[in-house]
Structure formats: C-alpha cells, structure tokens
Amino acid sequence: MTLFVSLIFAEAFTEKLKNTPLPDSSLVNIRGRIRDLQYGEGDMIKYVVIGEWKCYVNNISMADAFKTGDIVLIKGTETPIAPPENPGDFDSFKYELSKGIRHIVFTESAEVLKPSTFNIVSHFEILNHKMSEALIKKAPVSGSTVSTILLGDKRNLPENRKDLFSYVSLSFFLVISGLHVSFLSALLLKLLKSITGSCKVSLIMTVVLIILYGLLTGFTVSVKRAVIMYLIRALAEFLNKNYDTMSALSFAGTLELISNPFSVYSISFIYSYSAVFIIAFFYSYVQPDIPKEYFRNRLFLLLRLPLFMMLFMPAVSLLLSSEFSFAGMLINIILSFITMPLLILGIVLLILSNLNLTGLTLYFDFIEGLLIKLIDAMCLAGSKLNILRTTGMPGIINIILYSFTAFMAVLMLKKRFLRLSLLIMAVSLNLLTHRFFMGPVITFLSVGQGDSCVIQTGKRSALIIDTGSTSKKKPGEYILIPYLKYRGIDTIEKVFLSHGDMDHVGGVLELIGKDYSGIDIKEIIFPDVGFNEAFNDISEVSKEKGIRIRKIHRGDSLHNNRFNIECLWPEKSKIETCNDNSMVLLVNITKDTKVLFTGDIGAEAEAGLKLSYINGIDILKVAHHGSKYSTSEEFLERIKPEIAVISCGVNNYGHPAKETLQRLQGFTEDIFITKDKGALVFHINDQRFFTGTRKLGTTSEAGDV
C-alpha cells in the first residue's frame, strides 16, 4: 500500500513539475547546512547538497574545506534539470528527485559561515575517503575494485570493467549491495561467536558493527534495506521469535518510502527490493510445495533459486535498462562461491593498506587480483555469448503475455509439475524478449545543436544518418547507444555521415569504439569528396574494427527489400567536405513514404539537385538546422513537403530562422523542432502517425501524418 501511494504521489508531483516551463539559467544565493557531499579527483569535493540544491564546486579552491554539517553560503548559476528528450535516455530528472534534489547549481563562490563542530556523518565520510585513497594507492592491482565493492568509491574503477560487468548484467556486483552486507554480517557473527562464545553478545556486537559499516558507506538504499532487515532478524533471534523475510522487507520498504516517496524512482531501490522479494517469495511460498525427492539431486539444489530468479529478474532489468544477459545469471552461480573469500581478502587488504604494511598489502593485493581476474575472465567469456543477451524495452503485448505465462509457470511449480513449469518458463521468457516489428520507425533524435536520425528497418536492424552534436556531451554514448538498446537494435546496416562537421559526426567514434555496446556496425558511408581530418580519424578506427568504408556521390543508390536510398548530392569532388558538399539522400522506406535528408546544404546546392522525377516528399529533414540561407522557396516548391523536421538545440546562430519557418509554413502546417518537442518518432505502416517524447514545459502532440 505504501509503495502504491508513494508511486501515485511521485508521479503526480513529477507531472506537475513537467508541466512547469523550464526556467532560464539564473544567479542564486544559497545559504544552508550541507547534508551530503561527493568527492571528485584527489581531495577535491565534486559537489555538496544543501536541502534540495545540488551545488557543483569542482573549481572552487576552498571546496576541500567543506564538511557535512557546515553552514555555507554558495553563489552560482542555477541550471534546470531537464527530463529525458529521447527514448532510452537516462532520466536525470527522476534520479535527482530520488535523491531529494530539485535544483542544480554551478558554484562561482562559496563561503563557510559556520563550521560543524561535530557531525558523525562527516567523520565517517572523511574516514571513507581516506581509507579508499590509501587502498587505491597501496594495492595497485585490486585496490580500485575492492574500494568500489567495500566502500562504494567508484572514482577509480576502470571504465572497461564497469562496461563489461554491465554488459553481462552483473553491475550489482560492483556496488555495495544488500548481498555484501548479508555476507559481511554472517562473517562477523561467525567470527565473533568463535571469539566471545556467546550468541547474544556476538549478535549485539555484529549489529553495532553493521550500523557503523552503514555509516561508513553512506547508507545507500540497498545497504539501508539490508541493515534494517538484519536488525529485525537480530531482534527476533535475541527474543527467540520467528523471523519473516517478507514482513521485514515490507517494514524496511515502508520506512524508506515514508522518508522519501521518490525512492520509487531509484534503480537501486527497485533492483534491491525486487531481488529480495523474489528470493523471499520462492523460499516462503514455492519451495515448500516442491517434492522432497527433488532435493536429493545436487544439480537441482544448486540451480533451483537461480532458475526461479531467471524467470523474473530479466523483466525487471529490461524495464529499467532495456538490456539483460542470461550469462550473468550463470556467472552469478559461480560468484556465490567466490564472493565470501573475495570479501574476506578485501577486508584484510583494506586493513593492511591503512596500517601501512606495504609488504603484506602487496601480497594480498596479488591474491585478490587473481580472484578479480578470474571474475573478469568469466564475464569476458559471458560477453561472447550474444545468444544469451537481449535488449529492447518490452511492449505492452510482451508484458501481458509474459505476466500470464510467468504466473502459470509458478502455479505449475507449486502443483509439482516441474518439467512443465520449466517449459512454461522458457516460453514466458521468449514472450518477454520477442520483438514485434510493426513496420519501419524513423526517429529524429534530440541531440541539441546537431543532427542524428535512426531508421529502424527490421526487428533488430537500422540505418543511421548523422551522429553529431556540439551542445551535448558524448551523443554517441549517452543518446544513440541507449536509444538503440531501448529499441532492441543490435545491427546497424549503414551509417551515413553527411559531412565532416562535429554537429553531424561527433558521436560516431563513441558508437564505433565503445567496448561492450552490443552494437554491430556493418558499413560507414561518406560523401565522395575530399576527406577532412574527422573522416580520416573515423576511417582509421573503422578499419581497426573491421567496418567497411564506402564513398558515394550523385547517382549512386543502395537498396534491399526493406529500403531504397538514392544519393542526390554531392557531385564527385576533391574539394574538402563542407556544408554545400553535404550528402543529400532520398530514402524510400515503403512505396508511399519518401524522406529527404539534406545535411547542411545551402540554397545554391539546393538549386543543383535533380528533383524533376520526385512527386512530393513526405518528410523533409530541413537543411542546416533551419538556417535562413537554406530551404529556399524555389526548393520547397519543387519538393512540396508534407512534414518538415528541424533538428537543433538552444543556440546563438538563430536556428531555426524566422524566414525559414515562414517559407515552410507556406507549404505545410506540420513543422516539428527537436528543441521544442524532443525526439520525433514516425511509425511507418498502413496508417502513419507521429509521436513526440515529452519535454518539460511542452505538450506532446499526436495526429495523423
């Protein structure tokens, strides 16, 4: 009930905020007590949190003097937190809300008005930071990973390892999870029992140590849940009462949601509570009905819980991140035997490194490093098993069919039809991951000041036209790849780059070069003109990755049974790529749907296009982000577009120009601008229609196209 009420409240509140226009950046003065802080590189603090304000202080020289509990005065520029603009985007709006943050400020000056005399949280934060720095410095092989697992310090975790674990759905192993707290509490209790000889004394000491550990790691959502549940368990043992996992989980969840209803948006909250709920449900309501003779089979004993988890966790993972690897579930079975020695060695390493025992630290670092390399090797092997990996946000049909069959699988298991239950489980997972392809989908992504369009041509295949942005950081990694995962696309048949400016090619190297993205690119196509430096760099990296390179010019065409693409411009030339040498493509997706992509060409190049055989254009990607020097009236008269799409962000160039908009309005009423609407999605089937993602302060429109 608490979860339901929190979800309704959070959604209503978020909806209200989304209907509030985004404020312009403005100067603000914030006075208050620091309730949280995050370290950046070295001893410098990255940001502090004061009430609902998150204040970045990276460049402030005195930032390292801040402590939690200090009363400070911060002056800076407030930047609005925008909701996601593209399908698959990370929702920083809801993420910050789940942390109790509604405002972002980039600090220009800061002053400590009243230092904190004593703040236990501050002392533990400083202790965590110092312990982490010592561990990373003195244990070069495994220190960064151990620091992540035991102290929650991800600053020095290798990006490649993070991506690898994410690719095989084992990201939870690289955070301080409830699983780690459970292992540590069991280890501490056993150790203290052997020392004290008293169950009750060792139980009390374990409770105290686990609470201190929670303070040391900042009481993240999953740690808080594990600590509360352990406290309830310890109290039940102390009073000789029965412990019920479901009740303890409900109590912990209720406390979390009462303290912060927006925790329902926290991925950590959803993963942590979902996993424990599934485990508790299995042991409390399913396992008692399984025939006892099955438990004589060691393989069944080993696999019974992982198989049950495999029925439900893929759905949680796909709904939250649009990707899941069944290889991770298999690796997790082996990890269950490695985790305890890994944590024991990690604790020993943490203690030795902070006691400056260099020789012993290096010895245990070597052993811990071997275990981590073993886990890396298993993850690497799992990453090769692409058949066990799936991507894509499940549709409503998938969810309905999956829910029904998953319920039937559990019912059959409770009725002791084990083989039938396993068969239905397989069917259920297939229904969850199956992609229903209803026809091509054209998505003009909202990349700020730039251009990028994805045309989905099959269940898991697509074409991409341009990948750039000059106003958004890493558009390939943060916009394109998440969108492709969201749509379940893992094969890019062709990437067309209209010309070499960064607002058109800026994200392609991230798309090509990022390890463990799960995206297979077949071919990259440039205009057949003189190469610039950007094209040369892209060509070199592409060849290293085994991606074909092709150059096309006017008169060339590419086609298969799903699409037909004609290159209308440029003429073959040795002149270095520039706006008027942009690639112009006429894309025929179906017999009745023609889309014209015009790059950044101006009126002179428009006049040179041979368009006499084209009887109208369904969708025009307006040239040069709506510049007044493009999209002439003569050009529009020749193509007569039904729909015009302008891709641009907030800019100083005057894009889109009033003159361009006025010319377009003479030919069509359907003019869509990514700056205002977010990503523009066109579903091409028997009845074409348009949907736009919703941005703060705008209303999404839908209608026949």
Sorted by sequence, the CB contacts under 8 Å of residue 114 that are 6+ apart come out as: 70, 71
Instruction: Tell me what pLDDT residue 540 has.
Output: 92
- Four-residue CA torsion sign, 216, 133, 175, 346: negative
Q: Looking at residues 349-357, what average pLDDT do you find?
A: 93
Q: Looking at residues 612-640, what average pLDDT do you find?
A: 90
Instruction: Give the side-chain half-sphere CA count within 13 A for 516.
Output: 22
Question: Model confidence at 548, in pLDDT bands (50, 70, 90)?
Answer: very high
299 compared with 19, residue with greater pLDDT: 299
Q: Looking at residues 491-505, what average pLDDT do you find?
A: 94
Residue 696 above 50 pLDDT? no
Residue 127 above 70 pLDDT? yes
Task: Annotate 223-253 with b (16+ C-beta within 10 A) or e (fewer).
Answer: bbbbbbbbbbbbeeeeeeeeeebeebbbebb
Q: Looking at residues 222-237, what average pLDDT do you find?
A: 91
Instruction: Tell me what pLDDT residue 602 has.
Output: 92
Q: Say if residues 67 and 112 touch (Cβ distance below 8 Å).
A: no
Residue 49 above 90 pLDDT? yes
Residue 415 above 90 pLDDT? no
Instruction: Tell me what pLDDT residue 575 has.
Output: 66
The label of the residue with tokens 């190297």 reads: 509
Instruction: Tell me what pLDDT residue 333 has.
Output: 86
Question: Model confidence at 64, in pLDDT bands (50, 70, 90)?
Answer: low
Residue 551 above 90 pLDDT? yes
Q: Looking at residues 432-445, what average pLDDT do you find?
A: 90
Residue 700 above 50 pLDDT? no
The label of the residue with tokens 């995050």 reads: 38
User: CA 128, CA 144: separation in Å to the nearest integer?
Assistant: 13
Residue 179 above 80 pLDDT? no
Residue 370 above 60 pLDDT? yes
How far from chain centre, in Å, is Cα 95?
Answer: 11
Instruction: Tell me what pLDDT residue 442 has.
Output: 94
The helix/strand/coil state of 111 is strand
Instruction: Tell me what pLDDT residue 525 has.
Output: 95
What stretch of H or E contains 644?
strand 641-646
> In 168-244, where does DSSP find H-type helix?
178-196, 199-216, 221-238
Q: Residue 609 — φ and ψ, nearest 5°?
A: -75, 135
Q: What average pLDDT does the chain have? A: 87
23 compared with 142, residue with greater pLDDT: 142
Residue 703 above 60 pLDDT? no
User: CA 287, CA 449: separation in Å to the nearest integer?
Assistant: 56
pLDDT in tens, 71-94: 999 999 998 888 899 999 999 989
User: How do 584-590 and 564-569 pair as beta strands?
Assistant: antiparallel
Residue 393 above 90 pLDDT? yes
The secondary structure of residue 478, as a DSSP letter, is I
pLDDT in tens, 189-213: 888 888 888 888 898 999 999 999 9
Question: Model confidence at 432, in pLDDT bands (50, 70, 90)?
Answer: very high
* pLDDT-wise least confident of 100-109, 211-220, 300-309: 300-309
Q: Looking at residues 332-350, what average pLDDT do you find?
A: 89
Residue 647 above 50 pLDDT? yes
Q: Say if residues 688 and 705 touch (Cβ distance below 8 Å).
A: yes
Question: Model confidence at 8, in pLDDT bands (50, 70, 90)?
Answer: low
Residue 556 above 70 pLDDT? yes
* pLDDT-wise least confident of 67-76, 118-127, 695-704: 695-704
Residue 688 above 80 pLDDT? no
Residue 440 above 80 pLDDT? yes
Enter the tokens of residue 333. 């079975």
